[in-house]
Structure 1
Amino acid sequence: TKKSNRSPAIIIHNKLTMASFADAARFLLLTAVGIAGNPSTADAASASPVSGWRSDLDWAALTSKLSSSASLIDTSLDDYTDECMPEFSEPSPTTHALIDQPSGMCLPHLLLGWEMSWPRPSENHHMDQPYVQAYFDLFGLDPTADFESWMSDPTNPSLNLPSKVLFPTVASDVVAAVNFAKDNGLEISVKNSGHSYQGASSKKNTLLLNMNRYTHYAPTGITDCDASILGSTVTEDLSNQPCLLSLAKNKSSLIRVGGGENFDKVYRAVIAANEEEGYKYHLVGGYAGTVSPMGWSWQGGLGGSTGGRLYGFGVDQVVQLEMVLPNGVHVKFGPTDWEDASAEGFTVPRTKVVSGVCRSNPDEHDEENWVWQSCPEDFDIDFNDMWFAVRGGGGGTWGVVTSVYLQLHDYLPFKSYLFNNPPFRTEKCTAIFPQFAEFVAHYMSAPSLLNVTKERSHACGSPDPRAGIYCHGEEDVMQAWTRFLDLNNSTDPANVACLFSSDKLASHYNLPAPPGYAEFMISFSKNDLFPGKVLDGSPPSKIGAPVAGVLVPQSWLDEGEENRKTLQENGTPYYYAFGGAAASGSDQANSLSQAHRNAAFMAYFSDDYFWGNLFPKMFDISDKTKFPPVFGSNHAGFLTAGPLKEDWTKPCPREWTFEERREKCISFQEAIYGTERLARLEAIKKAVDPQFIFNCVNCVGNNLPEASKSEDDEPSPAEAEPLLGNSSDETSGASFVSSF
């Protein structure tokens, strides 16, 4: 039996678990699941690539095209039980321990291995079961729920794990896999670390591409652009396009990141370069080191701890994309024509034209020999549409991202502020946390009330007041905190001391002050089995966030103090990664909703209160044919749904079955993108992936009739198609999990 040899962190600051967001929406922490078993380590090398799931297919044909370092294995529930489950019982669990397990199936939330994160057996994807039963089961309210039995049963129809996993290491492996899936009517799921709260990173009856062993570019991926190329023409192979666009943004550095690298790897690459060159680079990234820049960016990318309010969302950092599309073509693309948009209030150029190239030798494994050329005449993919769709339209549904160029910014001094954290925690400070939360709301979204400029407000962000405030550049946090206490007649020095800086924390432990966010995490939230790594923002848990956060409009907040008081009384916690460059840093050619750009912060409310009281006041619902975007895409959970279609001021009834909710309530996707933007995204989806090879749970297009496949229809290998095959009515081997 696996035994723990972990030691707790020196300092584990308030761990921001997504369960805490669920609490705000009146959810309970999961208490029902008890895991039993005899863990062991699976031997991936012993797995046969021609046995197991879909043994009727010629898997040898696929393996013959793979690079020598790629690996195709069979997997099962036993692998998930032996490799993944034990970590959730560790005293200091971390996703780092899950990422590199041999089967490649581990997920940061244990129940993501079952449909809707709900292991109760169901023959039709829970469609005939009521929402309230899921609520009762998952949050410990039904004592008859038999999780141990459900989760140990390999025949449980709700099990949602892939049975075949491919570990690609070069782009040609991905090309081979996509073409094999296309030719054989299979679906593909894509995973880095699995940080998808709706479960988009895992799906049964799919070929899972686990990207963790894919080429790592970040360690040597930083490029300093030569300003002398300004005014040059973009080369035919797009090799100078990233730098030309970067320089047009008045930036001079980029980093190339591979499709399998997480933020820990990228942060450490930037740290190494900074230590060598004297701290010149800054990267906007995620709160957790185990989150992937891919899925994080494609959902929007909230930079609450890394300067997102100074430099924009994750989608705004993307300069060039390299992908394998659903048609099996390896492409790279990015803006090649842009214009100044400063007169309209934007801080980056507006994208006018996006161009792309195709690789003419897709079977070549060695990147040094890749040949990028103009795409063939019959290539009917619009790169303008792809640039729009991928950046904001979610991961896992548009193809496989093999690498991306991300913008780097000039380094700014870093300082974080923690409230009532060890080793300075007191009961007195605990008692005034509500006042601190109010202070953070003022500093981030109404700084003038504290005599703080917008510029110094935008220098800071926070994924949650309990997780701290993170600042880059000039800020006024301690002065403003003192001012806030003074305005509230609470200037006791003990209250002032409840908030302290990372410098004070470092001094207490005789450590140097951390020069950046990643260095801060490495120093003060660490695990002795993974030294020097940027750990999770929140540790692995049995269940992730079940609901989504509302993007509270800054304009509504500015209408008066009464609105602020309403939020303080009814919504918590808040996610502060909005405003500033998050509003103005858009190239106006991405699919991130306007609600993200207009938001002051993201907050969580009970369904009953929000739809009936706040929604009609916050959002324009005068046109009943156009539902507005409401929810944040990052952190949207598996039980997310909009209101009734026939009455937007009423929540989707919890007593209804999921089938009824899907039919009569605004969908997960429409509540995130809004009617108009979702329609454009769905049209692009049907154009670029007519066979729905990429059909991940709750992704764009997943709830379209064309995406629906029946498990009763045994798929057969499709007829060989041209490289750019047209839409097919062939059924796929993957099951359909409806959105709701």
Structure 2
Amino acid sequence: MGRPSCRSQLARYADRLGCERCAFENCKWPPSKNTWPSFPSTTSLFVIFDDKTDLTEQDLSTLSIPAMVLQPNHASDIVQAIQFCQQNDIGVTVKVAGHSYFGASSANRTLLIKMNPSYPKYAIGGSLTECSTVTPASSSEIPSANHMACALASARGKNAVLRVGGGELIDEAYRAVSFEWNSQSENLYHLVGGGAGTVSAAGGWLASGGLSGTTGMRMYGVGVDQVVAMEIVLPDGQHVRFGPTEWDDVQDGGYPKTTVVTGYYLRFAARGGGGGSYGVVTSVHYQVHNYPGSLTLVAPDLSSYPENAAETITPEAAYFFTTKYIEFFLRSPESLNVTQENSRACNFAQTFNLSPFADGILFCYGTSGQNIVDKWQEYIGDPAVVEEMRLQSIPEDFIGALPLLLVQARVVDNYALIALEIGAENPGVPEGRLADSPLADLVPVLAAFPSMSDSTHTHFPLDAITSDPVGMSQLLAADVLPSGGRTVYAMGGFIPFADDGENAISPARRNAAFLMGVPDENFRNQYYSIFYGGLDMTGDFPGSSCHNHALIYEMGPLKDDWTSTCPLDWPQSKRDEKCISQNEASWGTAMLSRLEKFKAIIDPNELFICAAGVGYTSKSDPSSNPGPSPSSSSESRMLPNPISALVFFLCSFIVSLMNY
């Protein structure tokens, strides 16, 4: 219970306790542990301290952990908890599974509302509803959640919806659709979701946009585009349901544009505006799609290269071939004679590498897997391309092997089966559950290594790619080869057309070709010059980074020169003054302004303040080591004294008993 309890546990069980790096201020390693210790690759992100490396008092003072945790059983628990916190000026943080790159699901001495595992689960219990079974609401009655959800889903040509609870995980949502429903029904369905089974289906993944590279966001839009109704407990304690009830059809084949939202006007902020900032999500209705066909894993077969390829191909030849390989994935479908349907059906979520000498996986649905393999063979076997490679002194046996590089590695019914198999092979995953992605290994970049702090997932605009795919391929190849490769998220496809006009996805994200981490400052500045060089830098910054994977230290480029990276060696106070803020880098100037205005209305007392969320501000750090601290307003919101804490605990306990 709070910091005193953690202190005593650390003192008594220092050899057993796992401490997550983001349990400390700014996700920094404790002061006495100023370097990363050496751990085996199988070590969890929860780092184990042994009795020889106990934490000091200074270490303990940097812990950023809640004073108390509430695991609600019902929405009324959340309502009364928030009302209590409002009355006593106590900050609130929200956690489902705690999947946060920047430690947003915990803050020092707040009340933490932990939604998993006690809050009701709907998906596994059979919440998938075919809209043909829902009788339309009459004009005189208030529409139910299913009425509201099915009306919009039907307008989009979707036949069913799935309700998930505020504490449910992607694992449970996938199993509900792909296993429970599809195994016993004639009508088969498909759910768009994240790649990791342990990510929440209704929490931060969704609130930050919802990347869905394994389940078809290029076919159907990102996570927020799948939401057709929501329920949230607001910062004033109201429990509300809302969703579109009127919309206009569009001519470009995209989703209808929302014109009226019934229930509460929170739809745009709750879908992409960041988690833990506007209330506690208790329920989400997702549209589900007709089953798109089996899933084909397409991968480069590196064994297709000649055995002596590394010795016989020169660096110049390797660079040229890499440009052609990248160009294949950047070219428009029309130029490769690929149908729009087949192009959109192939996706990847940082699982595919731009280097042709590295492993990778594409997730292709229906016939698109075979189609991309066929088109690769046509592209790389084209006589003009072959002649170009000969002119670059690429050996004949290497050229002859290239048509066999991309292969259909495997065909399965759905993505959930892949995640289930990976989970079964990992002793840390409970039986029958889907694996995390990546598996719970020690990944230093997740702890915000300074070398990666301003490079996480830069968005590459679609128009910059389509206007010069050859030039961009050459620049990317120069970046990719020396590093051993770069993994990317593929955007594009239907994502620009899935915009209903009421979500907080910035235009930079909505209209990106792909997003990629760019740790090299020189290349990042070259990319920025292409993306922003021709823009009016006194106007609105369009956004550059991805809030789904933002790091606590991440900043945008210089305020007066968007083509230049914010220097990492500046003191944080100077970075705050001279560089575009983390929030503005994520949402862009215009969208952030709209979110800030809404935040001030819905949460005027700043009850919900979390790292990297709207309303989160940094205080100056005199050191040269970058990294914002929680705002002073969030630091002051703590359980005020033991008596209040005890009263709150007793009230919550009584409410829980009454609800049973």
TM-score bracket, normalised by the shorter chain, equals: 0.7 to 0.9
Residues 454-479 of structure 1, C-alpha deviations (whole Å, 9 max, x = no match):
32111010113144100122311221
Q: Is the contact made by 1:419 and 1:468 (CA closer than 8 Å) also made in structure 2? A: yes
Q: How does 1:181-196 map to 2 (within 5 A)?
A: 181-196=85-100
Aligned to 1:602, the other structure's residue is in SS state strand
Q: 1:456 to 1:654 in 2, by over 3 A?
A: same
Report the residue type matching 2:255 in the other structure. V
Report the residue type matching 2:341 in the other structure. E
Q: Is the contact made by 1:77 and 1:154 (CA closer than 8 Å) also made in structure 2? A: no
Among residues 149, 156, 159, which one is paired with 1:242 in the alignment? Answer: 149
1:468 aligns with 2:361: yes
Mapped to 2, the partners of 1:399 and 1:712 lie a distance apart of 19
Residues 113-144 of structure 1, C-alpha deviations (whole Å, 9 max, x = no match):
2222212439xxxxxxxxxxx9x84699xxxx
TM-score in terms of structure 2 length:
0.78
1:573 aligns with 2:478: no
1:613 aligns with 2:526: yes
Q: Is the contact made by 1:621 and 1:627 (CA closer than 8 Å) also made in structure 2? A: no
Q: Is the contact made by 1:311 and 1:581 (CA closer than 8 Å) also made in structure 2? A: yes
Mapped to 2, the partners of 1:189 and 1:430 lie a distance apart of 54
Alignment-derived partner of residue 355 in structure 2: none
Alignment-derived partner of residue 566 in structure 2: 652
Mapped to 1, the partners of 2:170 and 2:14 lie a distance apart of 23
Q: Is the contact made by 1:77 and 1:161 (CA closer than 8 Å) also made in structure 2? A: no
Report the residue type matching 1:274 in the other structure. N
1:672 aligns with 2:586: yes
Residues 270-322 of structure 1, C-alpha deviations (whole Å, 9 max, x = no match):
12100111461100011111111221111111111101100001010001111
Among residues 248, 268, 277, which one is paired with 1:388 in the alignment? Answer: 268
Alignment-derived partner of residue 284 in structure 1: 192
Among residues 234, 253, 265, which one is paired with 2:160 in the alignment? Answer: 253
Among residues 372, 389, 393, which one is paired with 1:477 in the alignment? Answer: 372
- Alpha-carbon offset, residue 216 of structure 1: 0.7
Mapped to 1, the partners of 2:175 and 2:307 lie a distance apart of 38
1:536 aligns with 2:440: no
TM-score in terms of structure 1 length:
0.70
Mapped to 2, the partners of 1:555 and 1:459 lie a distance apart of 21
Q: Is the contact made by 2:423 and 2:433 (CA closer than 8 Å) also made in structure 1? A: no
Mapped to 2, the partners of 1:172 and 1:700 lie a distance apart of 26
Q: Is the contact made by 2:111 and 2:638 (CA closer than 8 Å) also made in structure 1? A: no
User: What value does the CA root-mean-square deviation take over the aligned residues?
Assistant: 3.6
Report the residue type matching 1:584 in the other structure. F
Q: 1:616 to 1:235 in 2, by over 3 A?
A: farther
Q: 1:566 to 1:678 in 2, by over 3 A?
A: same
Among residues 272, 275, 282, which one is paired with 2:180 in the alignment? Answer: 272
Among residues 280, 293, 296, which one is paired with 1:400 in the alignment? Answer: 280
Mapped to 1, the partners of 2:566 and 2:86 lie a distance apart of 37
- Alpha-carbon offset, residue 709 of structure 1: 2.8
1:302 aligns with 2:208: no
Among residues 326, 340, 344, which one is paired with 1:458 in the alignment? Answer: 344
- Alpha-carbon offset, residue 418 of structure 1: 4.6
Report the residue type matching 2:615 in the other structure. G
- Alpha-carbon offset, residue 690 of structure 1: 1.3
Alignment-derived partner of residue 327 in structure 1: 236
Among residues 342, 345, 349, which one is paired with 2:256 in the alignment? Answer: 349
Alignment-derived partner of residue 457 in structure 2: 549
Alignment-derived partner of residue 130 in structure 1: none
Q: How does 1:183-222 map to 2 (within 5 A)?
A: 183-212=87-116, 213-219=118-124, 220-222=126-128
Q: Is the contact made by 2:305 and 2:402 (CA closer than 8 Å) also made in structure 1? A: no
Q: Which moved more, 1:481-490 or 1:518-527?
A: 481-490
Mapped to 2, the partners of 1:292 and 1:191 lie a distance apart of 9
Mapped to 2, the partners of 1:306 and 1:354 lie a distance apart of 28
1:592 aligns with 2:505: yes
- Alpha-carbon offset, residue 151 of structure 1: 6.9
Q: 1:402 to 1:565 in 2, by over 3 A?
A: same
Q: Is the contact made by 2:90 and 2:637 (CA closer than 8 Å) also made in structure 1? A: no
Mapped to 2, the partners of 1:485 and 1:216 lie a distance apart of 50
Aligned to 2:633, the other structure's residue is in SS state coil
Q: How does 1:74-223 map to 2 (within 5 A)?
A: 78=9, 110-121=20-31, 137=35, 152-153=55-56, 155-156=58-59, 157-212=61-116, 213-219=118-124, 220-223=126-129
Residues 310-349 of structure 1, C-alpha deviations (whole Å, 9 max, x = no match):
00010100011111111111111111111102x2x25111
Report the residue type matching 2:472 in the other structure. N
Residues 568-613 of structure 1, C-alpha deviations (whole Å, 9 max, x = no match):
3226624334112211011111111011121100012236325532
Mapped to 2, the partners of 1:437 and 1:617 lie a distance apart of 18
Q: 1:636 to 1:444 in 2, by over 3 A?
A: same
Structure 1: which 5+ runs fail to align?
A: 1-50, 55-73, 88-105, 123-133, 141-146, 357-382, 504-512, 721-740
Report the residue type matching 1:692 in the other structure. E
Alignment-derived partner of residue 708 in structure 1: 632
